[in-house]
Structure formats: C-alpha cells, structure tokens
Chains A and B, each alone.
Chain A
Amino acid sequence: MTDLITLSGVHKYYGDYHALRGIDLTIRQGEFFSLLGPSGCGKTTLLRTIAGFEDASSGSLTIDGRDMKRVEAHHRPTNMVFQSYAIFPHLSVAENVGFGLRRDKRARADKARAVGEALEMVGLAGYGNRRANALSGGQRQRVALARALILEPKVLLLDEPLSALDKKMREQMQVELMRLQREVGITFILVTHDQEEALVMSDRIAVMFEGEIGQLDDPETLYRRPVSRRVAAFIGMMNFLDATIAPAGARVALDVAGLGRCEVPASQAPGGVPAGAATVGIRPETLAILFEGESAPGRVVDGVVDEVVYYGDMTYYDVRIPGHDAPLNISMKNLIGRPVLEVGAPARVAWDERALVLLAR
C-alpha cells in the first residue's frame, strides 16, 4: 500500500497550551485508520489540522505527495464528517448532499443522479426532499456521510461520528461504516475515544496521549504487544505486576512478584527490554482459575477470591495472591459445569509466560 498522508514533526500551540507535541505519522492509501485516545489528548486538533481548519504551529503535512502548507481547507482533497454532523438546517436532504457540487460544471441532471446514488449508498434512497431538520440522529449521520463522500475525497475524516448515537445504533453504524469504506476504497481517518470501536473497525490505530502518539499498530498488535504501560492500560484490561529482570541474550529471565520465575523471548518486550526493574502485564483472559478436575500444563499459584462480578456469559474475579499487592483480574467463560465461586473461596490460578508483556516501570 502506498503512503497517502505524511505528518512530520507537527506541533500545535493554543496560546501557551501545547496541544500537539511532535506528531510523526504516515497514513496509507485505502486504509481505515483510527486516532484513539482519552478526551482532550488532541485527536480533534490533529484531525482538523489535516482538514485545514487548524494551522500547525510547526512541522509539515503532505497529502498525496502535495505539501499542504499553503492549501486552504476548501482546496484540500479531504472531507469531514463533523461530530455535530453540521447538517444545514435550512436545506433539504438532497441540497445538503449536493452542497459540494455547486461549483461542479456537470449538468444538473448528472448532479441529481450523483446525489441519488450517494443517498442510496448510505441507505437513504428517497429521502432527498425531506427537510434536514426532521431527521433522526442516525439519519443525520448518513446525510453527513453522503455529503462528504459525494465529492470523492482522497481522505474522509470522521470526528467521533458515533458518539451521539445510542448503543444499538452505534454498533449498526460501525458495521456500515466498515462496509462503506471497503466499497468506496477511500482512506478513512476516524477519531474516537472508544477503544472497542477502534479495535473493531480499524486497520491501524494510533493511540494518543497528551498530544503525542503512544503507539501506532494494527489492533491485534496493539492489544497483545502494547509498548508502554499507559497504552496497555488504555486498551482493554491488564494486570500489572512488579518484576526484576535479567537479560540473557535473546531471552530475558524474570522474577515476577506473586507469580515466580520464568524466561521469555525479548520479543515479549515490544517497547524494548527495560533495565533492572520492570512491570509485567498480563491480560485477565490469559489467566485461568482451575476448577475441580481441571489441570493446566503451565504454572499455577494459589490465591483467594476477593470479588466476583457475574456478567452472564462471563464471570470476572478478583483473586488475591501472596506476594502481589493488588488482586489479579481474571475473566472466565461460564462454560457448562463451571460453578461461580464465592468471595473467600480458595482459587488456583494458572498462568503462562507466553502471555506476559514486559514493560518499563
């Protein structure tokens, strides 16, 4: 895949506030790219910089090989779906969708056909004459999509497009956005603070913290091999345990508080092997409580159930183990025959060194 957008060394100040702190980023042609991060970390600022609504204080931005420094927003090959959708309330649905065609030299009938096709693409065929005011949230979202896509931009920018929808609608729109992106083949850049949404939809995700990119990877790598503790904590749940380490060639010997000694390949330290003291991360679903009659090939530690949260398909346990302060988070599928343990019950916890991630403290 070829590179479409390149940002290098992009900084943005609002007065004295340093909103973007050196963003280096390459986004490829045709990918579904997400900017993920807690609210206030600068995602919208970065997106608006790409769209041309904010000027970077320094650094460069190229889209499709063209430097965007002197290119104003209305001349950039980007289109945006705004968080509020920004549907023009005084225009009809068709007028909204066809808004960007005003300067187009095509015949009126061709434009009307393009509008019809765009509406069909987002599942709003026949809605053209409605007043934009009278639409529901989901429909507004679709109008905003059609309006942006009709101009066949090289990049579609979406700022938290699903956050205003209820849960059901959101899940439905996630699927539709992915389908749409595959159909039109345009690069999508999605801003979201919802890690699940980003994991489900994206080809690649940039996780942002305080104006910086913490990690850029595909969803699986991001989940399994986070490079830092804050990335690991932001995406999914993770148990963190103290460890002392001793590198030995391509492998690292560990002594993990509460779990014991083991040895892992250096590849399990995606952020680089830290020196001396380290933190070990382990996901709740990679730990297991051994029920009656079950055995594990790996290692086992003994603990006591501290808290039980029953979720129907799953049960979440907090289990205290000696040698580690915080209880371990463990999630268990409620398979046939598995009881739900009670608080205070003894629990044997199985773990596997292949699931460990080595992080800097």
Chain B
Amino acid sequence: MAQRFGVTREVRRSVALISVPFLYAILLLALPLGAIVLFSFWTQDFLTIDTSFTLANYREALTQPIYTQLILRSLAISATVTVATVVLAFPIAYFVSFHLPPHRKSLWLFLITIPFWTSYLIRVFLWKVILGYNGVLNTSLTGLGLIDEPLTFILYNANAVVITLAHAFAPFAILPIFVALEKIDRSLLEASRDLGESRSTTFFRVTLPLAMPGVVAAVLIVFIPTIGDYVTPRLVGGPDGLMIANMIQTQFLRLNNAPLGAALALIAMVCVTVIALGFVWLNRRWLGGDGK
C-alpha cells in the first residue's frame, strides 16, 4: 500500500474537501427524502402519526379519482410545457449560436437570463394581468380591432399555466441547447454542404442530431421541476389548471395529512423520473440506431 502513497495524499485532500458539501447534502437532502419515504407508509391519526407500515396512502392516492386525475393532468401539463418551452427555445439558441458574432453572444445570453432572475411570484402574477379578461392582451387586441370580445381561453385554465411556465423556464431550455450547438464544429456543416446537402437537409442530418444532447438536457431540466410548481397553477390556472403540487401543499399545510402528501409527492416524483428516463432511453436508442 505504500506504493499508492503519492496518490492517496492528494486523493485524501480531495475527498476531505468534497465531503463537506456531500455531508450537507446527505443531512439536508438524503435523510429528509428518506423521511418522506418512511412517512408515506405511515398514516395520520388525527394529531398523531400512526407508525405501523401500511400501503393505505398509496392505495388512496392511486384509486381516488381526484388524485389520479390531478396526477395525470399534471403530467400532461408538464409535458405540454416542456414541448412548448423547448420548441420555442430552440430557434433562439440556434439564432444566438449560429447567427450572432461571438462578441454579441454573451450579451444576448445575459438578456435572456435576466427575466429569469427577477421575482418569480410577481412575474407569474403579471401573466395574470396580461392574460386576464380586462388584461393587457385583450385590451390591446380589442383596441386594435382585431377581436370584438375579450379572449377567455387564455386565463384560468391549463393554457395559461403552459404560457406562464414556458416563460418561467425559458433560459433553462435555451442554455443547454445553446451549449450543445456551440460545441458543433462548424466545419462539419461546411463538409455536409460540400458533400451536396442543402442548407435545410444539413440542418436535419447534421445540426439537429448533434444538438440532441442539449435538447435532452433541456427537456429534463424543464419537465422535472415543472411538476412541483404550485404557484403558477394557483395564480393563473383556475380550477381546471390545478396540479398535483397544489394538492401536496394542501395535504401538508391545510389538511395536516403529511403521510398522504408524502405519498402523493413520491408518486409524482416516480412518474416524472420514469418518464424522464424513458425519454432518455428512447433518445439513445433512436440516435444510436440512426447513427449506425
């Protein structure tokens, strides 16, 4: 073992350093996550917790239509948000990466990230102002004479949730795609053109496949956190736009039923993770099969 001495000293230092944030994450993330897993198998007995192991919470969550509907709707909304965000974001990432001179890129990225860092609550609330019956959008459109009646399908429903979340997660989608696009060696595109591909076939045969890792990252980083949002559904979603996170919040803070809330949270997490992994797997397979 003396032979490995030189390696261990540096490794020991590196392990010692990383163990500080790691222990923090264990204490404040892993253990609490373990705790809600445990809770989800217990039951709330009025004011006390009944700690006998039971699947009752899961049974309730998976059989009561109110919960299953909420979960399904949340997944559908999250998926729609993800698709909308990524589809809207891709051209922007492409524009910044391919159509801007290098010294302008970081300014644009900065401009894109600024709204993301400004008060989330107020931003969501302002969408309500924009999309409302007497909102900015409706008054402007009526004023311009484009519509006679204010549009009502844009507030207090799932559409509003999708618009608002697509706005909230925009930089999360743009940045990974941008990074992937930046990594593409520009001479590959010239090579493709040189080999007789047109501009658009080059895009579909070279650029898009090479940008896929960024797109996948964007999908994951939008899809997973979206499921946990309860602010947007509460403010702009109306009764039909509520999501599972609202129910989790209600269980924990209003109904004081932490075990059921924990079970709902875990079910939502598992669904999201399974879908996300499935997506990654499909993507690998598709890209792998395509590449050979």
Contacts and interface: CB of A to CB of B under 8 A. Distances in A.
A47 to B, nearest CB: 15
Interface string A54-65: 111110000000
Interface in A45-95: 54-58
A11 interface: yes
B6 A15 contact: no
A11 B3 contact: yes
A12 B7 CA distance: 10
Most buried by B among A11, A54, A57, A58: A57
Contact of A15 (B2, B4, B9): B4
Chain B contact residues (Cβ within 8 angstroms of A): what range?
A: under 10
A14 interface: yes
B46 interface: no
B5 interface: yes
A11 B3 CA distance: 8
- Say what secondary structure dominates the interface of chain B: helix
Contact of B4 (A13, A54, A56): A13
A57 to B, nearest CB: 4
Contacts of A55: 5-6, 9
A57 B6 CA distance: 7
A61 to B, nearest CB: 13
Contacts of A12: 6
B2 A54 contact: no
Most buried by B among A12, A13, A14, A58: A13
Interface in A96-118: none
Contacts of A14: 6-7
A57 B4 contact: yes
Most buried by A among B2, B3, B4, B5: B3
Contacts of B9: 55
B10 to A, nearest CB: 10
Nearest to A15: B7
A11 B9 CA distance: 17
B9 to A, nearest CB: 7
Interface in B1-30: 2-7, 9
A55 B5 CA distance: 7
Nearest to B6: A55
Contacts of B6: 12-14, 54-57
Given A11-B3, A13-B7, A57-B5, 17 more contacts: A13-B3, A13-B4, A13-B6, A14-B6, A14-B7, A15-B4, A54-B6, A55-B5, A55-B6, A55-B9, A56-B6, A57-B2, A57-B3, A57-B4, A57-B6, A58-B2, A58-B3
Interface of B: 2-7, 9
Which 3 pairs from chain A and chain B are nearest by CB?
A: A55-B6, A57-B3, A13-B3
